[in-house]
A and B are shown apart, each in its own frame.
Chain A
Amino acid sequence: MPDGAENQADIPRPDPDCLCRDCLHVWTAPAAPQNEGEASESDRRGTVLLCPACRSRRTMRHPELHRLSIAHIDCDAFYASVEKRDNPEIRDKPVIVGGGRRGVVSAACYVARMYGVRSAMPMFKALQACPDAVVIRPNMEKYAGVGREIRQMMRDATPLVQPLSIDEAFLDLTGTESLHGGSPARTLAGLVLRIERDAGVTASIGLSYNKFLAKVSSDLDKPRGFAVIGEAEAVDFLTEKPVKMIWGVGKALERKLHQDGLSTIGQLREMPLKNMIQRYGSMGERLYHFSRGIDDRKVDPTSETKSISNETTFAEDLSDFHELAHILWPLCESVARRLKKHEYSAGSVQLKLRTADFKILTRSRKLSTPTQLAEILFRQGLELLEKEADGRRYRLLGIGGADLGPPEDADVPDLADPDRDKAAKLERVMDEIREKLGSDAVIKGRSL
């Protein structure tokens, strides 16, 4: 089977269409038997394309494989994988990372998922489904550290990395062929091997010609997967897929589309652009184009973070304003610390509450002056909280800063708030003391 092309040096050499994900060997597979209507070689059940160089079975074949350059990389069950890496004893056990008895599942390993455990599921439900699961409290600092290592490896592959969260990102590898001496597909396969080797977690790759399809395809072959959607097949591929596969179609929009008789992506294509925009606004335009496999959005390395937030689920439901306020302060401190560390200012404050019956409330407020300060987040958060602390019982409280901007815009003097400048100076002094003497060196009375 191997080296079919070399034997036919006199006829035009077809572009290579194969890749070994273990040794990164690239070759051209011999043409599939010319039986009309029959599936291509790699699709045929039971037929495995072996790597001619290392005999590995982890090979890819796709006519556009080495021409596509927009990728989405998503780590597999990231938090759980990091925990398994650090504790080999739990490697084969179902592992759930999540908060306490009352929290929700932050991540579930693939073993736990076999029991039906899913991310964002309430912990008690997850434990009903999988009573033997090893439950680990999330250690966000550790995950963030691993996430940063992985991001750096991605940036070694291309400067155009647009992180979506701690463990996933878009990569645009256009024009990196000569730098890495190989196609984007080969660079990506090498990148995930490096992530596995150096960071100790596995990741899945989606490769296509735009962001939308790259994101869709990274989900197709999880975990440790590599899936490709080429330009030639994209429209057919999408036809029978549900509308919710489109990025931005949440529960509400999906319901609306269903009501309008649109449940598959193919059905969206039957609607004229004008109607789509009339009915669904700017989202309608996106649906129109996405349903045709068109997505012009660039991989933008600057649109990294949209908001910085922190939340906590209580040991028991709370309704008292003062108790909630007491919990709010450390959350504000942590958000402010991250705003300062990552050099952002927040232009608005968002408060999040989850009621005892699992309804989520979010309240947000635009700030007249962007901030980095825990004190300002707290004051604003408190005012928002006050309106909601009306006796309802809550199980979760969170606060975040959004509308992120450059740090220079933060906390400029406000002519209508002369005390703000003082508060800002005080907090900066406290930060300096903590920097030198540790985070507990000086605290505000309200954290006692």
Chain B
Amino acid sequence: MKLTIERAELLRSLNHVQSVVERRNTIPILSNVLIEASGSTLRLTATDMDIAIVESVAASIGTEGATTAPAHTLYDIVRKLPDGAQVELGKEEDRLELRSGRSRFTLQTLPTEDFPVMTGGDMPHTFNLSADILRGIVDRTRFAISTEETRYYLNGIYVHAADGIMRAVATDGHRLARVETPLPEGAEGMPGVIMPRKTVSELRKLIDESEGDVEIALSDTKVRYAFDKVELTSKLIDGTFPDYERVIPSGNTKMMQVDCKAFSNAVDRVSTIATEKMRAVKMAIAPGTMTLSASSQDSGSAVEEIEIGYDDDAIEIGFNSRYLLDISGQIESGQARFEMADASSPTIVRDVEDDSALYVLMPMRV
């Protein structure tokens, strides 16, 4: 194997694949990236056995061939090379040689036969989503993904089809995010699937660097996202997502509208005082004004008043300030509507101008 490629191209591709590779690996081959040169294409593959990324990039191939080399090391080397440099990769027996300008590196390799191939298998459901829509789904749900290991089925975004719409839901028990989008053609009859957190975060990075459509293929156990030059294949979480519809309240009548920017700035300021552990802020809501407050035994107290649209009975309700900030950060129109029942029941938060996203928040005792 012998090839030459521009540093920037190689770096971009390596950046995608290396982030799948775990920093600590008990299986040595999983630390490596599979490098395959054929025709005029260099293919880079990395996997952690749950996720695999394959990226193709144009290169001038001298001799075809393949090898595997440590992904992070290779990435670090290329990252440190000067802008505009040409990189030459060559396989010399069981070593990979990298030359660029006056630099020369030799890296240990492992046989390509040992590299685990993650096949997608048969994927009966295929549909396209635009990168923008996919980004919107991910951004407005991923913050609510749980990190609780015991409820592993909450460690991802649940996506399913219902009556001509596609729904994405994430919850950690304290808050829930639900985003809807028209069901894309070909997604009818798709199974409900849970996309693991790591897959979501790798996907998110790839979306940022692409435009146009993403082709999504699904089976009961795996998903594949195909971009122009990159393919991300991942196992799905094997579990049952809770029947979340039952926890979304329907009879909340106290409606409060607030400007997100003013609100999140005030929450951010007031929560400086809230205890590290609870992060609770109290919202005292009365017609026309909301008084945000926080107090902690260690540091003191904080109060701030903001204007709101509200003309119901006064209510006091507490929330985790981080959850409030997460949600208000996703409301694009800048105006949020809180739909409340009382201080201990789930509260709904929506974007006043966008029905596609709905957030549910459990109040805290304050």
Binding site for B on A (CB under 8 A): 365, 368-369, 383, 408-409, 412-418
A368 contacts B172, CB within 8 Å? yes
Query: Which one, B150, B154, B174, B346, contacts A383 given CB within 8 A?
Result: B150
Over the window 143-182 of chain B, the binary record of Cβ atoms lying under 8 Å from chain A Cβ atoms (1 yes, 0 no) is 0001010110010000000000000000111111000000
B246 contacts A368, CB within 8 Å? no
A412 contacts B242, CB within 8 Å? no
Chain B residues lying within 8 Å of A409, measured Cβ to Cβ, are 365
B150 contacts A415, CB within 8 Å? no
Bound CA span A413–B362, Å:
8
Query: Which one, B154, B344, B345, B365, contacts A416 given CB within 8 A?
Result: B154
Chain B residues lying within 8 Å of A383, measured Cβ to Cβ, are 150
Which B residue sits closest to A421, measured CB to CB?
A: B247
B243 contacts A368, CB within 8 Å? no
Count residues of chain B with CB under 8 A from any CB of chain A. Answer: 22
Chain B residues lying within 8 Å of A418, measured Cβ to Cβ, are 242-244, 246-247
Given A365-B150, A368-B148, are A417 and B365 neighbors across the interface (CB < 8 Å)? Answer: no
Bound CA span A369–B176, Å:
15
B365 contacts A415, CB within 8 Å? no
B285 within 8 Å of A (CB atoms)? no
B346 contacts A368, CB within 8 Å? no
A415 contacts B151, CB within 8 Å? no
Query: Apart from A416-B176, A416-B244, A417-B173, what are 5 other A-B pairs with CB-CB below 8 Å?
Result: A383-B150, A413-B362, A414-B362, A415-B174, A416-B247
B89 within 8 Å of A (CB atoms)? no
Per the 8 Å Cβ criterion, residues 197-245 of B in contact with A are 242-244
B260 within 8 Å of A (CB atoms)? no
Chain B residues lying within 8 Å of A417, measured Cβ to Cβ, are 173, 242
Chain A residues lying within 8 Å of B345, measured Cβ to Cβ, are 413
Chain A residues lying within 8 Å of B150, measured Cβ to Cβ, are 365, 383
Given A383-B150, A408-B365, A409-B365, are A416 and B246 neighbors across the interface (CB < 8 Å)? Answer: no
A415 contacts B244, CB within 8 Å? yes
A416 contacts B360, CB within 8 Å? no
Can you report 8 residue pairs joining A to B where beta carbons are below 8 Å apart?
Answer: A368-B146, A368-B172, A368-B174, A414-B174, A415-B171, A415-B173, A415-B175, A415-B176
Q: Is the interface of B mostly helix, strand, loop or mixed?
A: loop
Bound CA span A416–B154, Å:
8
Given A368-B148, A383-B150, are A416 and B172 neighbors across the interface (CB < 8 Å)? Answer: yes
Over the window 336-357 of chain B, the binary record of Cβ atoms lying under 8 Å from chain A Cβ atoms (1 yes, 0 no) is 0000000011100000000000
Bound CA span A369–B345, Å:
15
Bound CA span A383–B175, Å:
25
Which A residue sits closest to B241, measured CB to CB?
A: A416
Query: Which one, A368, A369, A413, contacts B247 given CB within 8 A?
Result: A413
Chain B residues lying within 8 Å of A414, measured Cβ to Cβ, are 173-174, 362
Bound CA span A301–B154, Å:
40
Given A368-B151, A368-B173, A383-B150, are A416 and B362 neighbors across the interface (CB < 8 Å)? Answer: no
Given A368-B148, A368-B172, are A415 and B243 neighbors across the interface (CB < 8 Å)? Answer: no
Chain A residues lying within 8 Å of B243, measured Cβ to Cβ, are 418
Bound CA span A415–B360, Å:
8
Q: Closest CB of chain B to A366's CB: distance in Å?
A: 8
Chain A residues lying within 8 Å of B148, measured Cβ to Cβ, are 368
Bound CA span A257–B241, Å:
50
Which A residue sits closest to B154, measured CB to CB?
A: A416
A412 contacts B362, CB within 8 Å? yes
Which A residue sits closest to B361, measured CB to CB?
A: A415
Per the 8 Å Cβ criterion, residues 313-364 of B in contact with A are 344-346, 360, 362
Bound CA span A368–B244, Å:
17
Bound CA span A418–B173, Å:
10
Q: Closest CB of chain B to A423's CB: distance in Å?
A: 14
A413 contacts B346, CB within 8 Å? yes
B151 contacts A416, CB within 8 Å? yes
Chain A residues lying within 8 Å of B360, measured Cβ to Cβ, are 415
Q: Considering residues B146, B173, B174, B345, which has the most beta carbons from chain A within 10 angstroms of its beta carbon?
A: B173
A416 contacts B346, CB within 8 Å? no
Which B residue sits closest to A384, measured CB to CB?
A: B150
Chain B residues lying within 8 Å of A368, measured Cβ to Cβ, are 146, 148, 151, 172-174
Q: Closest CB of chain A to B186's CB: distance in Å?
A: 30
Which B residue sits closest to A365, measured CB to CB?
A: B150
Which B residue sits closest to A383, measured CB to CB?
A: B150
Chain A residues lying within 8 Å of B171, measured Cβ to Cβ, are 415-416
Bound CA span A413–B364, Å:
11
Chain A residues lying within 8 Å of B146, measured Cβ to Cβ, are 368, 416
The 10 A-B pairs of least Cβ separation, nearest first, read A416-B173, A418-B246, A414-B173, A415-B247, A415-B176, A368-B173, A416-B171, A415-B171, A416-B242, A418-B247
Given A383-B150, A412-B344, are A369 and B242 neighbors across the interface (CB < 8 Å)? Answer: no
Chain B residues lying within 8 Å of A408, measured Cβ to Cβ, are 365
Bound CA span A416–B248, Å:
11
Chain A residues lying within 8 Å of B175, measured Cβ to Cβ, are 415
Bound CA span A413–B176, Å:
13
Over the window 239-264 of chain B, the binary record of Cβ atoms lying under 8 Å from chain A Cβ atoms (1 yes, 0 no) is 00011101100000000000000000
A369 contacts B173, CB within 8 Å? yes
Which B residue sits closest to A409, measured CB to CB?
A: B365
